[in-house]
Structure 1
Amino acid sequence: MTLFTTLSKAIEDGVKDGDIVALEGFTHLIPFAAGHEIIRQGRRNLTLVRMTPDLIYDQLVGAGCVSKLVFSWGGNPGVGSLHRVRDAIEHGYPAPLEIEEHSHAAMANAYEAGASGLPMAVFRGYVGSDLQHVNPNIKTVTCPFTGEALAAVPSIKPDVGIVHAQKADRAGNVLIEGILGVQKEVVLSSCYSIVTVEEIVDDLEAGPNSCVLPAWTINAIATVPLGAKPSYTHGYYPRDNSYYKKWDSISREREPFLKWLDEEVFQAGE
């Protein structure tokens, strides 16, 4: 049964040290507020999964919450590198970071397989790539019907899946509008799912092609206005492009980042 709760309680109940955690959202609906709460609660040794790790994963890595990153692309969109991720990989600061890199197609298929209860994803991919030579979780299988060699990767089944959405109704159903990533698949594949929303409403007013996550798929819902800032929530507020530009200088060196972490995450949660 879906539990309406606070963000702090949702993270406290759902995210434990050592968990595999996926925070997903594509260009918008990125669950920044949930990521900051994970930092405030001092979680450690997390394996983070995300198709496109950007600023929120840079922040979680820089705060020392993460020991492994599973991803298919990483960067500050339109700006440059993730400096805290790079520092962790190259110098082990603030903790060593293991990485497992995939293609977008592999990640999308692996989420779909996890949501379907399958042990692996099979697809055409990695032709001409060297990733399979450095990632032992990329295998080749032979189609029993055609004899074709296909790529295979383990399904993604996070301990905790976290997404942000526009709204939930009072029965616990959630509406996601605008550009979709793999939010639906994350919720369906995770053992425990947390959804932050802009508001609770009486009627979702969902159109016929809307993405609605039914209440039975969700463990916890927290109302968090502006929960995706500085990314955007379609229909509610725009993307803060200046923030992404500023992040490059904030995150480039350790001291400015630690100052930002104290002022914008820890003090903001008091």
Structure 2
Amino acid sequence: MKEKVQTLNEAINLHISDGDSVVMGACLEPMIPFAAAHEIVRQDKRELTLIAPISDILFDMLIGAGKVNKITGAWAGNVSAGLGHNYRRAIEEDTPVSIKVDDHSNFSLGLSLLAGSMGVPFLPTRSLLGTGLLESNDALKVEEYEGEKLVFVPSLTPDVAVLGVQRADKHGNAHLWGNTGVAQEAAMASKKVILLAEEIVDSAEIESDPNRVLVPGFKVTSVVECKAFSHPSPMQGYYQRDHEFFHDYHKQTKTREGFLQWLEQYVTGVNSHQEYLQKVGYENIEQLKIKSKRLAAPVNYASE
């Protein structure tokens, strides 16, 4: 099998282009690929459509950096504080750019990606009936089927999915555990898949537990070994959430000038994810590491 290991710089440069639709943050609050978002800013990728149910401050940061022209999602902001200042400035003041929003619920966005992964044009649901989403997203259509009203949720087939995993092999086979959100649907629906892995392991380790594999390796475009790629979001079994970092972001980004100072400090003023971790402080990353163990029960895959 072909090896797919690349550096973060290579993966973003080769596989994300201006104008692409990109899934980032498919696991909701954990496993958010912040390292990839920072590299997108450094490489000045523009006019992106961001897709995710919840990506905490990742969306807000990319909006403030002027890299986004559309969001397809359920929520954008700062989970610790509620409000994303850059998102609000973009909506209310077109600062730094105007953005379009295709509203979804978490569930309907999952349906869109699932439909894309299945190769069907839409999937039906009752859950959006009576909601304002039917007014704010005109792609959601109410139709009748055998006398019953249903909402037809159109499929999504993003250009790229950037997903985080705990471990992967060099061929793109990977394990993801904890809250997987819509990561599998996003991977199967997208044309390209970039995996950010906390560690790259031997294929035998992945093969030992096939039920934990997120997506078959042949669907993966690139694998990046990137320690603490999800900081400040948590990673099940590896890192806790850096609450203080989120709180500081909320305070610093209340003004446009404050955000630009934050961006310079943590993103544009460093050359790599390694330098970002150095700026955050290795001692802080060490304190966030999970110290306890809560292991799953062993399973037996033997057939005879």
Quick check: 2:4–2:170 contact (8 Å CA) kept in 1? Answer: no
- Between structure 1 and structure 2, the one with the greater Rg is 2
For 2:22, the aligned partner's letter is V
- The CA RMSD over aligned residues, in Å, is 1.5
Query: 1:113 — aligned with what?
Result: 115
For 1:162, the aligned partner's letter is V
Is 1:229 aligned to residue 231 of structure 2? yes
Query: 2:162 — aligned with what?
Result: 162
Higher relative contact order (CA 8 A, sep 6+): 1
Structure with greater strand share of residues: 1
Structure 2 unpaired stretches of 5+: 273-304
From 40, 48, 61, give the equivalent of 2:50.
48
From 75, 78, 89, give the equivalent of 2:91.
89
Query: 1:5 — aligned with what?
Result: 6
- Per the TM alignment, residue 256 of structure 1 is displaced from its structure 2 partner at its CA by 1.3
From 252, 256, 259, give the equivalent of 1:257.
259
- Per the TM alignment, residue 60 of structure 1 is displaced from its structure 2 partner at its CA by 0.4
* Higher mean C-alpha deviation, range 132-141 or range 39-48: 132-141
Quick check: 1:20–1:49 contact (8 Å CA) kept in 2? Answer: yes
- Per the TM alignment, residue 26 of structure 1 is displaced from its structure 2 partner at its CA by 2.1
For 2:200, the aligned partner's letter is I
Is 1:195 aligned to residue 172 of structure 2? no
* Higher mean C-alpha deviation, range 174-183 or range 198-207: 198-207
Q: Percent identity among equivalent residues?
A: 35
Query: 2:179 — aligned with what?
Result: 179
Q: Structure 2: how far apart are the matches of 1:20 and 1:171?
A: 24
Q: Structure 2: how far apart are the matches of 1:135 and 1:118?
A: 20
Q: TM-score normalised to the size of structure 1?
A: 0.94
* Higher mean C-alpha deviation, range 214-223 or range 134-143: 134-143
Q: Structure 2: how far apart are the matches of 1:104 and 1:206?
A: 32
- Per the TM alignment, residue 205 of structure 1 is displaced from its structure 2 partner at its CA by 6.8
- 1:77-115 Cα offsets, whole Å, 9 max, x none, are 131201001101111111111111112221111111111
For 1:159, the aligned partner's letter is D
Q: TM-score normalised to the size of structure 2?
A: 0.84
- Per the TM alignment, residue 132 of structure 1 is displaced from its structure 2 partner at its CA by 1.0
Q: 1:107 to 1:2 in 2, by over 3 A?
A: farther
* Higher mean C-alpha deviation, range 200-209 or range 37-46: 200-209
Is 1:78 aligned to residue 83 of structure 2? no
Q: 1:206 to 1:87 in 2, by over 3 A?
A: farther
Query: 1:269 — aligned with what?
Result: 271
Quick check: 1:113–1:121 contact (8 Å CA) kept in 2? Answer: yes
- 1:228-270 Cα offsets, whole Å, 9 max, x none, are 0000111111111111111111211111110111121012225
Secondary structure class of the residue paired with 1:213: coil
- 1:115-152 Cα offsets, whole Å, 9 max, x none, are 11111121112222122123211101222xx3311101
- Per the TM alignment, residue 208 of structure 1 is displaced from its structure 2 partner at its CA by 6.4
For 1:172, the aligned partner's letter is G
| Runs of 4+ with deviation above 3 angstroms | 205-209
Q: Structure 2: how far apart are the matches of 1:133 and 1:26?
A: 25
Quick check: 1:17–1:43 contact (8 Å CA) kept in 2? Answer: yes
Secondary structure class of the residue paired with 2:206: coil
- Per the TM alignment, residue 65 of structure 1 is displaced from its structure 2 partner at its CA by 0.1
Secondary structure class of the residue paired with 2:251: helix
Q: 1:19 to 1:208 in 2, by over 3 A?
A: closer
